[in-house]
Structure formats: C-alpha cells, structure tokens
C-alpha cells in the first residue's frame, strides 16, 4: 500500500474508532490532541490497524508514535516488510 492509501485507511479506522467524522489528516497532526484520542482509543485504533493490515506493532514501536506522519512512516515500513499486508 502506498502512503496515500494508508492515509485513507487510517482516516477510515479513526472514524470507526471514535464514531465521529475524521478531519483531513495532516502529517504533523498529533494523534492525541488533534484527533482527540485518549490512551484507550489509541490502543483500540492500533488493534484495528493490526487486524486490517495483518501486521503487528510492538509496544516500543507504538511508544514512538505521536503524529500522523510517524504512524504512516511506521505502517509503510511494516507493510513493505509484510507481503500479507500488501494484499490487505
């Protein structure tokens, strides 16, 4: 998946998680502040991402993610390493 597709998917999953319309994602958006997500929302979002893309993020990787751009970088890297994710 390219970055554009990942960004669209992320926006869709954020909407599923929060139940609210998600604004257009900007790279420097802070996941907590801009998307109004607390710790539990973030972990639930992570599970949704893992289920959809068939990838697994470690807690250390997850701890490094604060912005949309950082999350997309990580997902791009993981999906590139995982053929199953490419097909998802």
Partner 1 sequence: MRLYRPWMTPAVTFMAAPLIRAWLGTVRTRVANWDACRHPANPRQQRFIYAFWHESLLAPTKIRTRVKVLISRSADGELIGQICRRLGIGTIRGSTTRGGAQGLLEMVRESEDSHLAITPDGPRGPRRRLQPGIIFVASHTGLPIVPVGMGFTRAWRAGSWDRFAVPCPGSIMAGVIGRRILVPSFLDDVGMANYRCRVEDALLAATRAAESWAAQIAAGRSCPDQLPEYEEPSGLCPEDEPCKRLAQACHLFP
Nearer to partner 1, 4 or 38 (CB): 38
Give the span between the Cα atoms of 60 and 17, in whole angstroms: 22
Options 9-17, 55-63, 67-75, 80-88: segment touching partner 1 (CB under 8 A): 55-63
Nearer to partner 1, 43 or 87 (CB): 43
Whose structure tokens read 């199953």? 84
Options 5-13, 21-29, 43-51, 71-79: segment touching partner 1 (CB under 8 A): 43-51
Residues in CB range of 78: below 8 A, 6 or more apart: 53, 55, 57, 85
């Amino acid at each position: 998946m390219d970055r554009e597709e990942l960004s669209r998917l992320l926006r869709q999953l954020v909407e599923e998680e929060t139940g609210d319309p998600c604004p257009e994602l900007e790279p420097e958006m802070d996941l907590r502040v801009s998307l109004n997500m607390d710790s539990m929302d973030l972990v639930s979002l992570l599970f949704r991402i893992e289920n959809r893309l068939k990838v697994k993020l470690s807690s250390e990787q997850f701890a490094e993610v604060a912005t949309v751009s950082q999350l997309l970088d990580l997902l791009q890297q993981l999906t590139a390493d995982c053929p199953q994710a490419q097909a998802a």
